[in-house]
Amino acid sequence: MGDRGGPVVRFEVLGPLRAWRGDVALNLGPVQQQVVLAVLLLQANRPIGRDQLIEAVWGAQMPAYAVNLVQKHMSGLRRVLEPGRAGRQVSELVWTRTGYLLSLPAGALDLELFEQHVERARQARVRGDLQATGDELRSALRLWRGPLCDGLVGPLVEGERDRLAERRLEVWEQRLELDLAQSRHADVVGELRQLATRYPLRERLHELLMLALYRSGRQAEALAVFQEARRRLSDELGIEPAAPLQHLQRQILTADPALEPDARVEVVSAPTADPPVVASVDEPGMALPSQLPHSLADFAGRQTELTRLHGLLLDDVRDDGGDPVVITAIDGMAGVGKTALALHWAHQVRDRFPDGQLYVNLRGFDRTGSVMEPGEAIRAFLDAFGVSPQPIPVGLEAQAALYRTLLADKRVLVVLDNARDAEQVRPLLPGSPGCLAVVTSRNRLDSLVVTEGAHAVSVGLLTVAEARELLASRIGRTRVSAEPAATEEIIASCARLPLALAIVAARAATHPQFPLAVLADELREARGGLDAFDDDSDVATDVRAVFSWSYRALSDPVARVFRLLGLHPGPHLTTAVAASLAGLPRRDTHRALTDLTRANLIEEPAPGWFVFHDLLRAYANELAHERDSDGDRRVAMHRMLDHYLYTAHTADRLLNPHRDPLLLAAPRSGVTVERITDHQRALAWFAAEHPALLSAVDLAATLGSDAHVWQLAWSLATYFDLQGHWHDQVAVQRAALTALGTTADRAYETRAHCCLARAYSTLGRDDDAHTHLRLAAALSEGADDPTGQGHTHLTTARVLYRQFRHGEALDHARQSLELYRHTGHRAGQAAALNAVGWFCSLLDDHEKALVYCEEALALHAQLGDAYGEAAAWDSLGYAHEHLAHHDRAVRCYRHAIELWRQLGDRFNEADTLGRLGDTYRAIGDMNAARASWQQAKNMFDALHHPAADDIAAKLSRIAATVRA
């Protein structure tokens, strides 16, 4: 195959680095030049920045003249790869705006061919063509001549060498598994012995060798392999073999028929694109997520389902992490016990996933339709791993890529509960081998089975024996055995539905003096009374009798609380919310909630936090509509909205005490407001109530309570800004604008437009941001609202700053300062003074910057605004640094750092530490510079912020300077 510029240049990295033009081997020059080429080949068809290239080639051993060396090696490589540079060459090495780029045509790199063979093998396996699968895997493995770029050293080459060695071994194991599935037992014994000797701690190889020996009629030798593997693991690591190896030994001892040849085998999928890079979350002292809710202590039955689930895990998840991610989709009707089964099994296998266990209720069948968006779930998972809001990308696809990258090379269990459909689940599925995803849904997720290779496990009703066991585990075996007929009738009345049986069991347990026959009679009389659930195709028609009977057993006050709880939009509620709905004191509400929990009508997964089962929530809501007047329901919902509004307003004042306050009238009688007393508790409350607050805004809009809509949106704005919930900010502020359109309050309409502009600017939607700024300007000018005009100009300055339009930003900051001075708005003046000073400094007018920032600092101090003080100290440090007032710059930065630290603002603390390091470098104190930068890098790493790369580059340069 040729080209107008000459024969094709082929590259080989799967062994010693080699290049060929046609049949002629190329002399690639000195070793260091070959390392540069190796890095370019591993990044083929993707630009790599000069600093990245230097880091990849030399790492911490970077020479003083690394840039010159890179340029020299690039010139040498161009001479080798493109002699004469005549015509269009097959390999093209150029400098682009984003770095060096080595462009290769398809098939020019053996690593690319390896991955293509593996992908074709996967496709053949999906088609069921085992012969083609084996051929492609063998072709892939034949490309390897030795370790990656054998003989070359460098951080990137060595890291990729380890990764690809693991990749090669995974494919090798897949080929051996395929040979075993095709009854080539004797043919692979020798090969497996060699591999097991070379990798004595890789248990999967010992498994395959044992299986090959056993199927070859060599049972004793297979067991000897186990004993040797066990000895090596014990001697070298002090551990026992993992469960799969031990299970295989037991199968061999018992001659388990399941060990007979089977054509079922999985093939490792080739990656289709390079994932985004994220830092490790294994920060010292950081707790790995362990989010599984408690499993039922008296879980009963489901042995068939549990056996199948364990079998799937045994087949597909290996301790070497080399197998595809396992996806188990558990489906079944409401109340059948899908979640209980998933959690019970998850707790049984959680030890096999040492890197964490994630859980989320996707609310797929929430009565209000408030189905959880995949992005919300991903954000919660990233939060669980300690990923800071700042580097999290905006779009769902990018967020999902970050999430999958975070789980790469980890063993994590992910439970996705109550999913609505496959589309909701797909972005949440890990892509890392060795992970396990467990999905529960009322619907069968057939498309997951087809496209993702999920294993479907359908959960039906309990058998009579299992139902009897469930009752016995909860009310006592003696009691069940004493009244077998009544027990059978109860089971029949509950239609063997676990939820219904649990409610009856709770009733029986709390009234031990009641004969079961009495309970059976009551169930018989109550059946069929709940027409709202009348559906002959749904067994829920049978559980309606249990609900109604359980409800009638409540006292009138508790029954009223139960009904009103059904008006809550979900997904969870607190004692204070329940008290506000009911208009009762907290103590009386707590007693009612305790009664409802004991009756299994609500659950309390955490102290003071309550959730409904979907059917029970719908049932309570219907009862409220049947038995409470429209007026009573509306008043209850307004009390609930008051609870969220007044608590959110209190928390917002703690987060941002110098913000323009809302002038709220007193809450309605009967409203309970949460007691929040400090900044940290305010953040925690917002985080816990985040989904409920969004639901409250939606409910207020549905009820036509416009004041609640825009006032809640105002109270949420600071929290959303601090935590980076920009999409939520857009949603609630748009709702606020709709609500404010019915009022004459143009001041808050202006502020809502400003909030939207900031959010859109952060999301990169500059046109939308400027649209809302123009609307804010028109409103504030038309209403003769100079404070609103000041807010608009200051917001405009911040939006322009993000666009690097510093001159225009300074003009708007000055206009905002003039307006704030005119109105006497002191907090606005302080913020505007600092903004003017900052933009002056960015435009190299540092002397003027000092004047403005010192005035800002004094005013912030008078107001007691610690955030403003920290920002002003940082701005002053920047100005002094650029005026070569290094001692003063150091003092300013240290003041800022101390305040950021007290406020818990780790991002700004790291940002200021980076500038402090720059100042130390300028005065020649390299030790202090290194210490400041190292602190900054550690914090940026912990936040997973890309600024860590810039700090790392500074540390590398200072190390090179010291060596020189």
Adjacency order of strands within the sheet including 18-21: 9-12, 18-21, 24-25
DSSP states along 902-948: HHT-HHHHHHHHHHHHHHHHHTT-HHHHHHHHHHHHHHHHHHT-THH
Q: Is the pLDDT of residue 312 over 70?
A: yes
- 435-460 pLDDT, tens digit per residue, is 899 999 877 787 888 778 888 888 88
Question: What gap in Å lies between CA 644 and CA 686, rounded to an integer?
Answer: 10
**What letters, b where the CB count within 10 A reaches 16 and e where it falls short, cover 115-149?**
bbbbbbbbebbeeeebeebbebbebbbebbeebbb
Task: Name which residue leads in pLDDT, 303 or 808.
Answer: 808
Of these ranges, 57-61, 378-382, 727-731, 830-834, the one predicted with the greatest mean pLDDT is 830-834
Task: Name which residue leads in pLDDT, 454 or 387.
Answer: 454
Q: Is the pLDDT of residue 425 over 80?
A: yes
| Type of residue numbered 928 | A
- 515-546 pLDDT, tens digit per residue, is 999 888 877 775 433 332 233 434 433 456 55
Give the per-residue pLDDT at 849: 94
Q: Which range (18-22, 263-267, 857-861) has the least confidence? A: 263-267
| Type of residue numbered 175 | R
CA 660 vs CA 399, 657, 711, 828: distances in Å: 34, 8, 12, 10
Nearest residue to 649 via CA among 635, 666, 636, 670:
666
Give the per-residue pLDDT at 530: 34
Question: What gap in Å lies between CA 268 and CA 121, rounded to an integer?
Answer: 9
Q: Is the pLDDT of residue 861 over 80?
A: yes
DSSP states along 375-424: HHHHHHHHHHTT--STT--SSHHHHHHHHHHHTTT---EEEEEEE--HHH
| Type of residue numbered 943 | L
Give the per-residue pLDDT at 101: 83
Cα torsion through 465, 470, 472, 476, rounded to 10: 180
Q: What's the pLDDT band for 768 if we cut at 50, 70, 90?
A: very high
| Preceding amide of 83 cis, omega within 30 | no
780's CB contacts (< 8 A; 6+ apart) are: 746, 747, 750, 786, 788, 789, 791, 792
Question: What gap in Å lies between CA 1 and CA 239, rounded to an integer?
Answer: 54
Query: Strand 326-331 vs strand 436-441: parallel, antiparallel, or unpaired?
Result: parallel
Give the per-residue pLDDT at 445: 83
DSSP states along 846-897: HHHHHHHHHHHHHHHHHHT-HHHHHHHHHHHHHHHHHTT-HHHHHHHHHHHH
Give the per-residue pLDDT at 567: 93
477's CB contacts (< 8 A; 6+ apart) are: none
Give the per-residue pLDDT at 271: 34
Task: Name which residue leads in pLDDT, 110 or 266.
Answer: 110
Distance, first Cα to last Cα, the chain:
48
Give the per-residue pLDDT at 286: 47
Question: What gap in Å lies between CA 835 and CA 852, rounded to an integer?
Answer: 9
Across the chain, mean pLDDT equals: 83
Of all residues in the chain, the percent with pLDDT exceeding 70 is 88
Average pLDDT on 370-374 reads 78
551's CB contacts (< 8 A; 6+ apart) are: 559, 562, 601, 619, 623
Length of the chain, in residues: 964
Backbone angles phi and psi of 613, in degrees to 5: -70, 150
Q: Is the pLDDT of residue 87 over 80?
A: no
Q: Is the pLDDT of residue 73 over 80?
A: yes
User: Can you list the positions of beta strands (E) in 512-628?
Assistant: 573-574, 603-606, 609-611
Q: Which range (297-311, 313-327, 628-642, 660-674) has the least confidence? A: 313-327
- 160-212 pLDDT, tens digit per residue, is 888 888 888 888 888 888 888 888 888 888 888 888 888 888 888 888 999 88
CA 412 vs CA 60, 312, 320, 423, 438: distances in Å: 32, 16, 14, 21, 11
Q: Which two tokens stand for residue 109?
A: 């790199």
Average pLDDT on 473-482 reads 89
- 582-613 pLDDT, tens digit per residue, is 999 999 999 999 888 877 778 887 788 898 76
Give the per-residue pLDDT at 261: 66
Q: What's the pLDDT band for 313 if we cut at 50, 70, 90?
A: confident
Q: Which two tokens stand for residue 906?
A: 């780790």
